[in-house]
Structure 1
Amino acid sequence: MDDVEREPWTTKDIATALGVSQERARVISHRDDFPTPIIKSSRFRAWSADDVEAWIAEHRPDRASE
């Protein structure tokens, strides 16, 4: 397994992966079943790329990367 640490995902990254606007990605990121941010401040949140990709695979399989 590769030990390279991936950059956290922002709402822009989530929006790109889901094919939605950044505002829609922000709304999705507030769902109870969405992964918990690994970085959170008053102006910025970011998530583990692996966690978000797993969520997409489960909840939006048509958008999961291959």
Structure 2
Amino acid sequence: MSRYLMGAGEIARRLGLSRQRVQQLSERDDWPDPYDELAMGRVWLIADIEAWITRQRSEIAAPDADFIRDPPAGPPASRTDGSAPPAAVPPRPANVRKPPT
């Protein structure tokens, strides 16, 4: 699981809602902007979602241990392509565009 990103399924599990309801919530003006849009759908930074939860849903604001993890000790693990993982969260794209249809 990503240490930085969440899709609708992970957000649904965190909030105890359906993915469909998360998609509805994501249309709200106060919902965080997506970090990116992939073939599987939009993804958000965990920090942005947790901040939204803190502001909107204080009764469930305690972070879920599954989503807040300390980085592993030791050198970074290598990826299957041999490249090293990013040292930090990459910057959010200035303008997230939807893929052409």
Q: Give the TM-score range, shorter chain.
A: 0.7 to 0.9
- Aligned-residue offset at 1:51: 0.4
TM-score normalised to structure 2 length: 0.55
- Contact map agreement 2:4 2:47 (CA 8 A) in 1: no
Number of positions where the alignment pairs a residue of Structure 1 with one of Structure 2: 62
2:30 corresponding residue in structure 1: 33
State the distance in 2 between where 1:47 and 1:37 align. 5
Question: Moved runs in structure 1, 4+ residues, more than 2 A?
Answer: none
Cα RMSD after superposing both structures: 1.8
Q: Which has the higher strand share?
A: 2
Q: Structure 2: where are the runs of 5+ without partners?
A: 64-101
Specify the structure having the higher radius of gyration (Cα). Answer: 2
Taking only the aligned residue pairs, the percentage that are identical comes to: 35
State the distance in 2 between where 1:12 and 1:43 align. 11
State the distance in 2 between where 1:43 and 1:14 align. 14
Higher relative contact order (CA 8 A, sep 6+): 1
- Aligned-residue offset at 1:7: 2.9
Q: Which has the higher helix share?
A: 1
- Aligned-residue offset at 1:41: 4.4
Deviations 1:21-61 (A, max 9, x none): 11001111111110000012465100000000000011011
1:54 corresponding residue in structure 2: 51
